[in-house]
Amino acid sequence: MPAMGLLGCDTKCGHVRVPYPFGISPNCSYPAPGFNLTCNRSRHPPRLLLGDGTLEVAEISLENSTVRAVGTGGVRIGRGGAGVWRGAGMGDDDRVPFTLMPGDFNELVVTGCNVQATLQVDEDTIVSGCSSFCSKGGAEEFHYGRNGSKYCSGIGCCQAPIPDGSTSLDVRFKRLNNDPATRNLKHVHIFVAEVDWFDKKVGRDILRPKPNRRSGPVKVPVILQWAIQVDTTTAATDDSVFAPPCDARVARNICRSEHSHCTDSGRGYQCFCEDNYEGNPYLVGGCTGSNY
């Protein structure tokens, strides 16, 4: 089996594989913010934590440069109807290697009666949003599509795709009316979550009164994309600049395997093994021939 980490470095935390450029010990990860993870061995099994520890890492993929992370609860909304979603739990540091995976991987989920939520990258740019409604005599339930679909119909809950790949998103919430007959039918929750996570079971857990919950806060998975950002401290030569083109210098310092190639993601660089090779493209000799 191809090597996954630097020599002498542990590459597992509990049940989760930790391949380089990530690491859980000193000098075992790529020297940039975000790649040195925390393995909390006080729990059984041990938990792999990202950033400030608010997210638990469930899976790291070299094949598509993603991390599947799990947080608890939804977005906190202040009195003014505003909140912030920060996916990596690392604040607003521009060097954070993680962004929300764009495309059909994550979605906005809103529960509540006669409410609307939007996601914005700035004050003027909305990237996603949806509205949820209830009848005055609406029952305490969510309405889904037909044939067992997990997709909310907009009655009691709504969902919307998130095409943007941001490190954080501003959340705006408002009530569409002040009718007391529907205002308290359902508690309002706003989630940024992996597509297909929200289903009838999750809906029932959300509707339960907190004292009756046996499993604790709702766990919310999200898919993050990661890339390596190159600057003058990690590039091969002194004339390197922040985020240079994906050229031979980048390949020598990031995509270390002979049978690998480099891709510029727009925010940083990602390495992949060539066709018919598999393993870790970030390590010397990391990509080995596969039996296809």
pLDDT-above-70 percentage for the chain: 78
Is residue 212 assigned to a domain?
no
CA angle 122–126–129, rounded 5-degree value: 135
Q: Residue 77 — pLDDT band, cuts 50, 70, 90?
A: confident
Provide the H-helix boundaries in the chain: 180-183, 200-207, 248-253
Same domain for 249 and 164: no
- Residue 141's domain comprises 74-96+103-195
- Give the model's pLDDT for residue 207: 65
Mark whether 121 and 171 lie in a shared domain.
Answer: yes
Query: What's the chain's length in residues?
Result: 292
Residue 174 lies in a domain: yes
In a domain, 16, yes or no: no
Within a domain: 266: yes
For residue 215, the tally of other CB atoms under 10 A from its CB is 8
Do the beta carbons of residue 230 and residue 237 sit within 8 Å? no
User: Are 2 and 282 contacting, i.e. CB atoms less than 8 angstroms apart?
Assistant: no
pLDDT tens per residue across span 167-201? 888 999 998 876 665 565 567 899 999 998 988 77
Q: Are residues 86 and 143 in the same domain?
A: yes
Q: Does residue 78 sit in the same domain as residue 174?
A: yes
Same domain, 112 and 160: yes
Listed in sequence order, the residues at least 6 apart from 214 whose beta carbon sits closer than 8 Å to its beta carbon are none
The SS3 of residue 212 is: helix
Provide the pLDDT for residue 120: 92
Does residue 176 share a domain with residue 80? yes
Residue after which a domain boundary falls, among 143, 163, 195: 195
Check whether residue 160 and residue 246 sit in a common domain.
no
Same domain, 178 and 280: no
Residue 266 has pLDDT above 50, yes or no: yes
Give the domain-ending residue among 164, 195, 226: 195
| Same domain? 177 vs 120 | yes
pLDDT reported for residue 92? 57
Q: Both 267 and 162 in a single domain? A: no
268 located within any domain: yes
- Does 2 map to a domain? no
User: What is the pTM assigned to this prediction?
Assistant: 0.85
E strands present in 51-164: 55-61, 66-72, 82-86, 98-100, 106-111, 115-122, 125-132, 157-161
In angstroms, the CA 174 to CA 179 distance is: 13
The verdict on residue 208 lying in a domain is no
Q: What is the rounded radius of gyration, in angstroms, for the C-alpha atoms of the chain? A: 21
DSSP assignment of 141-193, as one string? ---B-STT--SB-SBSEEEEE-----SEEEEEEEES---HHHHTSS--EEEEE
184 and 249, same domain (yes or no): no
Q: What is the mean pLDDT of residues 139-166?
A: 75
CB neighbourhood size of 55 (10 A): 25
Q: Are residues 189 and 88 in the same domain?
A: yes
Kindly report whether the peptide bond that precedes residue 45 is cis, defined as omega within 30 degrees of 0: yes
pLDDT band of 31, cuts 50, 70, 90: very high
Final residue belonging to a domain, choices 147, 180, 195: 195
Whether 15 maps to a domain, the answer reads no
Please tell me the total count of domains within the chain: 2
